[in-house]
């Protein structure tokens, strides 16, 4: 007759084998398959259980039965534990796959920043937009008409020689050029927009100049144009003063000095300074000449206006105390990174 020991050895053996393969099942699906192999129909343990009836010794049968039940319980517990482990692992793999990368801001360290001229350009726009102006831009390649004639500088007008002009080989000789100032955008705005006009026009301009500490052949200006009924020189002076305080700070003031420009009459030059500083010459301004209004399709008997224009590079240079304009365009990172 066989004792309980033989049965128990076979159960222990089956349990060990089952545990080892449950432990090594790497995913939920193979765990379920392995669990079924060792605890389902056709498994060693279930086979032993159905053979219990053939054990004649009651005590041996009982002991064997208990051992099988214990083994089954241990396996069930292990399956449950492995299942929850594998499910958690699968969930975190899925979560990792779906996760969004929110670390983008870390790359800011290597991001650049706007050039000081661009910074000044954008701040100027902001200040004027805050005062109710709209922003306009015109072409860099212009006609002689927009750059000169419409601005009260007909062919052979002496003021033309003050603008060292770069011409473009296009159309009739001398008819096309790189704009020497942003003033031609005044004409385009008058021709295209409805009245009244409150506009600023920033942009790149070109002159046949040799680069030195205070001149570049390519630089930037911002133009202003106001056309409405009843506009006077007082509006011009008030606007310049309001702009000066908004842009430079409330301790700054402006002054106008008589000057001559063909496109304005009267004309003035305007300077700004802080309460204890030196006067900085910023640009020109004046009441829009009736001939200019007419060229823009505006009736000077009904409307009046003022205009102004000044250099953006000059402002950036003053603001950041740059000694030589050429440094601003050398693309030397040692310079650029200072701002
Ligand atoms: N266009 C002039 C220049 O480049 C600047 C200027 C002066 C613009 C007077 C104006 C103005 O609109 O009224 O030197």
Is 111 inside any structural domain? no
CATH number of the domain residue 331 falls in: 3.30.930.10
- Count of structural domains, the chain: 2
264 within ligand 1 shell (Cβ under 6 A): yes
Same domain, 161 and 37: no
For the ranges 2-16, 146-160, 231-245, 296-310, the lowest mean pLDDT is seen at 2-16
Q: Which protein residue has the closest C-alpha to ligand 1 atom 3?
A: 181
The CATH number that applies at residue 37 is 1.10.132
Q: Based on the domain organization, do 120 and 88 belong to the same domain?
A: no
Structure tokens at 118: 């661009």
Residue 227: name the closest of 192, 265, 194 by CA: 194
Length of the chain equals: 339
Residue ending a domain, choose from 98, 133, 154: 98
Shared-domain flag, residues 77 and 171 = no
What pLDDT is recorded for position 217? Answer: 97
Condensed to tens digits (0 to 9), the pLDDT of residues 130-156 reads 999 999 999 999 999 999 999 999 999
Cross-strand pairs, 309: 223, 284
**What DSSP element (H or E) covers 197?**
strand 197-206
Instruction: Kindly state the average pLDDT of the residues 204-226.
Output: 96
> Is the pLDDT at 107 greater than 90, yes or no?
no
Domain boundary among 45, 72, 98: 98
> Ligand 1 pocket, 261 CB below 6 A?
yes
Residues 75 and 212 in one domain: no
Does 135 fall in a domain? yes
Output 152 or 83, whichever has higher pLDDT: 152
Collapse the DSSP code of 218 into the 3-class scheme (helix H, G, I; strand E, B; otherwise coil) and give the result.
Answer: strand
Quote the CA–CA distance of 141 and 135 in Å, as a whole number.
19
Q: Are residues 146 and 88 in the same domain?
A: no
**Coil, strand, or helix at residue 280?**
strand
Distance in angstroms (rounded) separating the CA atoms of residues 170 and 168 = 6
Q: Which of 284, 312, 314 to mutate to test the pocket of ligand 1 (most atoms within 8 A of CB)?
A: 284
Alpha carbon distance 289, 306 (integer Å): 9
Let me know whether 140 and 218 are in one domain. Answer: yes
Q: At 275, which helix (H) or strand (E)?
A: none
Q: Which domain holds residue 47?
A: 4-98
Same-domain check for residues 239 and 129: yes
For atom 13 of ligand 1, the residue with the nearest CA is 285
Q: Which of 181, 240, 288 most suits a substitution to test ligand 1, by most atoms within 8 Å of the C-beta?
A: 181
Could you tell me which residues are beta bridge partners of residue 198? 226
Claim to verify: residue 74 and residue 16 sit in the same structural domain: yes
Are residues 201 and 310 part of one domain?
Answer: yes
> Is the domain of 205 the same as that of 324?
yes
108: how many CB neighbours lie within 10 A of its CB?
7
Indicate whether 47 belongs to any domain.
yes
Which DSSP helix (H) or strand (E) runs through 252?
strand 252-261
State the residue for tokens 């060990």: 16
Q: Is residue 105 part of a domain?
A: no
Burial class (CB in 10 A: 0-12, 13-18, 19+), 200: buried
Q: Where are the alpha helices (DSSP H) in 25-115?
A: 28-39, 44-50, 58-98
Considering the domain architecture, whether residues 138 and 280 belong to the same structural domain is answered as yes
For residue 83, being part of any structural domain is answered with: yes
Cis peptide before 266 (omega within 30 of 0): yes
pLDDT digits (tens, 9 = 90+) for 233-289: 999 999 999 999 999 999 999 999 999 999 999 999 999 998 888 899 999 999 999
285 lines ligand 1 (CB under 6 A): yes
136: its two tokens: 């306009």
């Amino acid at each position: 007759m066989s004792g309980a020991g033989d049965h128990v050895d076979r159960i222990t053996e089956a349990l060990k084998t089952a545990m080892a393969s449950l432990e090594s099942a790497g995913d939920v699906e193979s765990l379920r398959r392995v669990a079924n192999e060792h605890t389902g129909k056709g498994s060693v343990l279930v086979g032993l259980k159905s053979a219990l009836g053939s054990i004649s010794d009651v005590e041996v049968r009982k002991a064997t039965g208990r051992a099988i039940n214990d083994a089954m319980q241990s396996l069930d517990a292990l399956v449950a534990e492995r299942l929850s482990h594998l499910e958690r692992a699968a969930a975190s793999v899925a979560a990792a796959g779906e996760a969004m990368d929110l670390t983008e801001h870390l790359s800011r360290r290597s991001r650049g920043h706007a050039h000081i001229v661009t910074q000044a350009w954008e701040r100027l726009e902001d200040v004027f937009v805050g005062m109710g102006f709209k922003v306009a831009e015109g072409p860099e390649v212009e006609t002689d008409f927009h750059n000169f004639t419409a601005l009260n500088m007909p062919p052979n007008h002496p003021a033309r020689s003050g603008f060292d002009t770069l011409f473009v080989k296009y159309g009739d000789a001398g008819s096309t050029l790189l704009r020497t100032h942003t003033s031609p955008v005044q004409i385009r705005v008058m021709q295209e927009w409805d009245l009244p006009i409150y506009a600023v026009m920033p942009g790149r301009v070109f002159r046949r100049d040799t680069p030195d500490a205070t001149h570049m052949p390519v630089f930037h200006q911002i133009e202003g144009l106001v056309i409405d009924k009843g506009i006077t020189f007082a509006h011009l002076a008030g606007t310049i003063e309001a702009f000066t305080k908004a842009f430079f700070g409330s301790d700054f003031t402006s002054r106008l000095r008589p000057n001559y420009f063909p496109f304005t009459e009267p004309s003035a030059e305007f300077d700004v300074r802080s309460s204890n500083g030196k006067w900085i010459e910023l640009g020109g301004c004046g009441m829009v000449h009736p001939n200019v209004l007419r060229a823009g399709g505006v009736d000077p008997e009904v409307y009046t206006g003022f205009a102004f224009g000044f250099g953006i590079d000059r402002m950036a240079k003053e603001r950041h105390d740059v000694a030589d304009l050429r440094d601003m365009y050398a693309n030397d990172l040692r310079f650029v990174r200072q701002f």
